[in-house]
């Protein structure tokens, strides 16, 4: 009998992170009870109480009013509701407002609905450029708003980029957009639990959050929508969530979600300091071991997520590196999309001005609450050899030295 495989070094927390024990406890406790929150009998009212208590807890943790929380089935649905719902509401109120301003480095949960709106709903999509660090160029937004006054329906951007970890200029974008009467949606899926996120203090009009990124269950999310802002529904049915988002609410998932956000926000500073230290050690040692590797995103640690380390390795295919690391017990991600089985360089890196060849050799290491120094050691034990093998494979496939 073969020996059991040792515990993998999991460095893909930006993709999904283990549930927090408190969130597991909240979920299992609530699962023991039956009841549809829309039902009027005793069990239904008890389920409704669980839902509303979760709404209050999540709102308090993120600087919102309970009435501003709209439950969704995850971050993707929340982003779609924001992009489509806000655009349609604004366009209905003022047909001239048809320009949809979206940063070029958004997650596909924002980019894809934005392109869909341009193809099917009469939107004029404007992709806002970013600098070499992956940060939105505020001056480009200023020029767009001044060149086309009273035509923008919505600005949508991330709080922090999911691939290279770049923190975005939320305050500047909000101030500028509001000066022109334009609401701002921010995808804060990666930011909650790593940096301060507060709906009211930020001035943001709509904000997306996802449970499984902060230690909660999957298939659960929320869109926080500033009170008084019109939002056209995307789903139609039973009229739940004040008619904004129809669908039966899952009380156990929402209870667990709220507990996870509450816990992640409560220990954010301590968590950020700890994983930031691990991240800095990882980056330093990778650059020492593979001197021509390049850290992508802001070099200033104050301008990037503390748990993110995104590097490119010239002459390598990211997928090859990923498989080699995985075989050695290190789990990370490439940060690139794979469509129809054909590896493609990350749209984020390309928007930052990284060449296609370099962009193909991307690896993202993201840490979480279960990460340890041993995980960093595991990466350094195998990464240099993996880079050598990936480069040799690349040369062989190109016919070099054969």
Report in angstroms the alpha-carbon separations of 153 from 86, 119, 130. 8, 16, 21
Q: Tokens for 319?
A: 């997928």
For residue 24, what are the contacts with CB-CB under 8 A and spacing of at least 6? 256
- Provide the strand spans (E) within 226-356: 294-296, 308-312, 330-331, 338-339, 342-343
Looking only at the bridges linking them, the beta strands covering 152-158 and 99-103 are parallel
Secondary structure of 351-399 in HEC code, one letter for each residue = HCCCCHHHHCCEEEEECCCCCCHHHHHHHHHHHHHHHHHHHHHHHHHCC
Q: What length does the chain have?
A: 402
Q: Say whether 316 is catalytic.
A: no
Looking only at the bridges linking them, the beta strands covering 342-343 and 124-128 are unpaired
Report in angstroms the alpha-carbon separations of 196 from 135, 266, 328. 18, 10, 36
Active site residue: 338, 395, 396, 398, which one? 338
Query: Of the candidates 377, 202, 391, which has an alpha carbon nearest to the alpha carbon of residue 313?
Result: 391
Residues serving a catalytic function are 338
């Amino acid at each position: 009998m073969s020996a059991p495989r040792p515990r993998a070094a999991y460095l893909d927390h930006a993709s999904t992170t283990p549930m927090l024990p408190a969130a597991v406890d909240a979920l299992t406790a609530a699962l023991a009870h039956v009841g549809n929150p829309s039902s009027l009998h005793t069990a239904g009212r008890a389920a409704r109480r669980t839902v509303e208590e979760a709404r209050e807890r999540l709102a308090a943790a993120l600087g919102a009013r309970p009435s501003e929380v709209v439950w969704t089935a995850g971050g993707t649905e929340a982003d779609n509701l924001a992009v489509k719902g806000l655009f349609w509401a604004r366009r209905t109120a003022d047909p001239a407002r048809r320009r949809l301003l979206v940063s070029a480095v958004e997650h596909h949960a924002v980019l894809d609905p934005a392109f869909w709106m341009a193809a099917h709903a009469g939107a004029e999509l404007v992709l806002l450029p970013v600098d070499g660090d992956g940060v939105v160029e505020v001056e480009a937004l200023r020029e767009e708003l001044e060149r086309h006054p009273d035509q923008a329906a919505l600005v949508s951007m991330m709080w922090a980029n999911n691939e290279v970890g770049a923190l975005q200029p939320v305050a500047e974008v909000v101030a500028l957009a509001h000066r022109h009467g334009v609401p701002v949606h921010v995808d804060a899926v990666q930011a909650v639990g790593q940096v301060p996120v507060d709906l009211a203090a930020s001035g943001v009009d709509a904000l997306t959050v996802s449970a499984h990124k902060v230690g909660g269950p999957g298939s659960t999310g929320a869109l926080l929508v500033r009170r008084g802002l019109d939002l056209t529904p995307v789903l139609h049915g039973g009229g739940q969530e004040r008619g904004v988002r129809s669908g039966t609410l899952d009380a156990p998932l929402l209870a667990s979600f709220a507990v996870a956000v509450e816990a992640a926000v409560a220990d954010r500073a301590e968590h950020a300091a700890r994983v930031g230290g691990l991240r800095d050690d990882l980056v330093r040692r990778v650059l020492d071991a593979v001197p021509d590797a390049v850290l992508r995103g802001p070099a200033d640690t104050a301008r990037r997520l503390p748990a993110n380390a995104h590097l490119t390795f010239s002459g390598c295919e990211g997928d090859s590196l990923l498989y080699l690391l995985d075989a050695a017990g290190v789990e990370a991600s490439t940060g690139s999309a794979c469509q129809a089985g054909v590896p493609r360089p990350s749209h984020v890196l390309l928007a930052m001005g990284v060449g296609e060849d370099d962009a193909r050799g991307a690896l993202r290491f993201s840490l979480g609450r279960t990460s340890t120094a041993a995980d960093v050691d595991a990466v350094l034990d195998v990464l240099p050899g993996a880079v050598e093998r990936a480069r040799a494979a690349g040369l062989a496939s190109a016919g070099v030295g054969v």
